[in-house]
Structure 1
Amino acid sequence: MSGGLPLLRNRHVAAVFIVVMYALMGALLSALSAAVLSHGSAWGWAAAVVGGFLGAAFGVWRIRRTPEGECADEDNA
């Protein structure tokens, strides 16, 4: 892997970063859509939690689906 953030060259740290970013995006989009559709704050929090879990699950699914050839090898970095 050439370039990128030096911290994210470690594949485990990069995997955690990807899952956290998908979780945050899922929580944000769910909370915003709940805020637009209903005016109750409880619905917004519930949607943010569910969106965060779904986003994290999607991130884990994407990481597991990545072909071995595309995964960076720690010895070659």
Structure 2
Amino acid sequence: MSGGMPPLRNRNLAAGFIVVMYLLIGALLAGLLVAGLSGNDVWAGVAALVGGVLGAVFGLWCLRRTPEDERAGDDAY
């Protein structure tokens, strides 16, 4: 094995991991921002949901913009 976490060497699992991480970061940042500004838990929940969706969309967009040769896994060589 030449480095990397073994489950993330599969390109589909790595892509899913990237999308989930952007989803969680977007939800966390949006929820914290709205909770800090408004203090209302309902709005913080809605902001976390919207932030999660936007984070996942951003993660997918980043994956689609990555050139194919960079997205190729180690098994392609």
The answer, yes or no, to whether TM exceeds 0.5 is yes
Task: Please state how far the C-alpha of 1:74 moved relative to its aligned partner.
Answer: 4.9
CA contact (8 A) 2:27 2:49 kept: yes
Q: Which has the higher helix share?
A: 2
1:59 matched to which residue of 2? 59
1:12-42 deviation per Cα after TM superposition (whole angstroms, max 9, x unaligned): 0000000000000000000000011101100
1:72 matched to which residue of 2? 72
Count of residue pairs brought into register by the alignment: 77
Task: Note the residue ranges of structure 1 that are not aligned, 5 or more in a row.
Answer: none
1:16 matched to which residue of 2? 16
Task: Please state how far the C-alpha of 1:71 moved relative to its aligned partner.
Answer: 1.4
Answering whether residue 50 of structure 2 is matched by residue 50 of structure 1, we say yes
CA RMSD in angstroms comes to 1.7
CA contact (8 A) 2:10 2:73 kept: no
Identity %, equivalent residues = 59
CA distance in 1, matches of 2:17, 2:73: 17
Task: Please state how far the C-alpha of 1:76 moved relative to its aligned partner.
Answer: 3.8
Give every structure 1 segment of 4 or more consecutive aligned residues whose post-TM-superposition deviation is greater than 6 Å. none
